[in-house]
Amino acid sequence: MYQDNPVLSITPRNAMKTIAKLLAGLALTASAAFADIRLGWLEISGSPASRPSDLAWLTGSEDDPTLLNLIEAIGAVADDDSLQGLVIRLKDSELSVPQIEELGKAIREVQEAGKKVYVFGESFGTPEFLLSSHADHVTCQSGGAVSLHGLYMEEMFLGDTLAWAGIKADFVQVGDYKGASEQMARGAPSKEWDQNINQLLDSMYGNIRGGLKQGRSLDDAALDQAMETLWMADAADAVKAGMIDAEVDLPGYVDFLSKKLGEKVVTRTIVAGDPGEMNADTTNPFAMLGLLSKKPNRDIASPSIAVLHVDGAIVDGDSRASFSGGGEVGSRTIRNALEEILREPQIKGVVVRIDSPGGSAVASEIMWQGIRRVADVKPVWVSIGDMAASGGYYLAVAGDRIFVNPSSIVGSIGVVGGKLAMKGLYDKFHVNVVGRGRGPKAELFASATPWSDSDVAHVRGKMQQTYDLFTKRVAMGRKGIDLARTAEGRLFTGDVAVGLAMADQVGGLTDAVQGLAASLNMPEFDLVDFPAPRSLEDIIEDMLDSAGGGLLGMAPEQGSGLVAARAAIRDLVGDRVFGQLEGPMRAMMELREGTPLLLSPRVLIFR
């Protein structure tokens, strides 16, 4: 299976099946020796990352597997003749709908191999029910909490709040359906944004209902009744509603399966991820110091496919990690990675994995140029995870072929830019700001004064140029696309996007990798992640830079105040909401430099 060290040796699925057939005789002999039913046991917890952490090559990823690690771990059960099925234990999992769609495809491969898949969870929300809809049998912890509801989102419109505080939100957007500025500039959504987000939620909700109905063999009326019943309910209610099959206390679960299957069940832990290279004695200070000089192994010695990860808000310059789980992807970092891919003769093709709401228009164009520079020499395919919107979609159209999950969010072809004029707030606090400028347009982004009509016209003209370039890139990359139906900031789910020629095929990262390998006639290949992992020394230096006031480019005393404000906001809204807010908030800070943004609003969806 795939492993997430820097150079990941894999054998494609068809070759693994061939090997499995050669070993089938041995497996049958072993089966005759003891009649136990052997099931793999895989735990899924938290929200799996899209790529290995910077230190996964050193510390391993077994405690924090990526989505691809989990998919390959499930796939390995399909090819293992010593196992008759798989148990997936959901342990405080936080899976998005596109992630569930990719995991569901891997589960189907196990079932197509003639094996059963069982799911056990201690509590069930809509995501857990959706993943379980792919399984053959679903069990909940006896007395466990369940809650099956639809999608709910909240948007805060701060235009009136800012005006009350004395702040004028001066924003310009190109694309009637764009919406990225509306939460700051308006007190309520525009008619166009309301239409845009409602059709997107309708599509996402339809995908969820379709999966639940098919997996649990329910019609619309039965599902509606289940959703009415299973609101703040328990496992017994879910059994009655037909959404799970049984409730069992976890310590007795294996015995329960044994009775159900009529044979003794024996489980074997399935480890997703890689153990890493660290073997130092952590009690030895000299051994620990030696880790500082250890570098990732990047010896690419055999034919390989690169996976270039673009995950986070798009910014100019270097990528920046976020310790809250978000992060920003920088144009310089991605261009350096692309040049490394281009120089490496053993890399035969590239899959760009995108999970981004967009960001800087300049950075998006620079990265687009880099992808096309590689695509002139090596094939570049694209895989979209949860989202490739605005600047994220700008990058996607640079690829030769685009894969989407059914519920991936794509589109938002539009531009937004602006500033917050603070004069009213300054006056309330008796702050006197004296600005001095030299040269034309020097005061365009002054913090106090709002834009004049001529300023707005100037900004709109520049942004129209950015929009024209954006749509030109889309038209170049997506032959036959109708921009009248897809541009102006509109958002779509992946299954709808395929029908609009915005993407080529419904499928996950493994589909893109295997499809590219087949097109290159590569029965065996290594998989290499980019940008390259960093050393422990580099990561510590970045941490020290942030601690010294590098946060958002502010001076140390300003940085410490921002950290306090950040912590207060996080305490107020909670970790889940803050994780979705932080990336867009930081991306909007790019407006301090007068940069137009290709940024899509973050939709806050709660269970």
Distance CA 544, CA 551 (A): 11
Average the pLDDT over 19-38 and give the result: 51
At residue 564, the pLDDT reads 55
**CB within 8 Å of 47: residues ≥ 6 apart:** 93, 94, 95, 96, 99, 325
Which has more pLDDT, 461 or 278?
461
The mean pLDDT of the chain is: 82
Task: Cis check for the bond before 531: say yes or no (omega within 30 of 0).
Answer: yes
Q: Which long-range contacts (CB under 8 A, 24 or more apart) does 462-467 make?
A: 462/417, 462/596, 463/172, 463/173, 463/174, 463/415, 463/416, 463/417, 463/596, 464/174, 464/415, 466/174, 466/361, 466/415, 466/596, 466/598, 467/174, 467/175, 467/414, 467/415
304-416+479-533+554-601: which CATH number, 3.90.226.10, 2.60.120.260, 3.40.1190.20, 3.40.630.30?
3.90.226.10
Backbone angles phi, psi at 417, to 5 degrees: -160, 160
Give 116 or 16, the one with higher predicted confidence: 116
**Same CATH fold, 304-416+479-533+554-601 and 7-149+230-269?**
yes
Task: Report in angstroms the alpha-carbon separations of 208 from 118, 139, 203, 292, 534.
Answer: 20, 20, 9, 47, 38
Query: Mapping DSSP to helix (H, G, I), strand (E, B) and coil, where does residue 402 land?
Result: strand
Question: Exposure of 172 by Cβ count < 10 A (0-12 exposed, 13-18 middle, 19+ buried)?
Answer: buried
Q: Confidence band (pLDDT; 50, 70, 90) for 322?
A: low
Indicate the pLDDT class of residue 554, thresholds 50, 70 and 90: very low
Q: What is the pLDDT of residues 47-75, one digit of tens each?
A: 888 877 666 655 555 667 889 999 999 99
- The tokens for 246 are 């049984």
Break the chain into its structural domains and give their ranges.
7-149+230-269, 304-416+479-533+554-601
Q: What is the pLDDT of residues 344-388, one digit of tens each?
A: 999 999 999 999 999 889 999 999 999 999 999 999 999 999 999
* Spatial separation of the C-alpha atoms in residues 95 and 105, rounded to whole Å: 15
* Fold entry, domain 7-149+230-269: 2-enoyl-CoA Hydratase; Chain A, domain 1 (3.90.226)
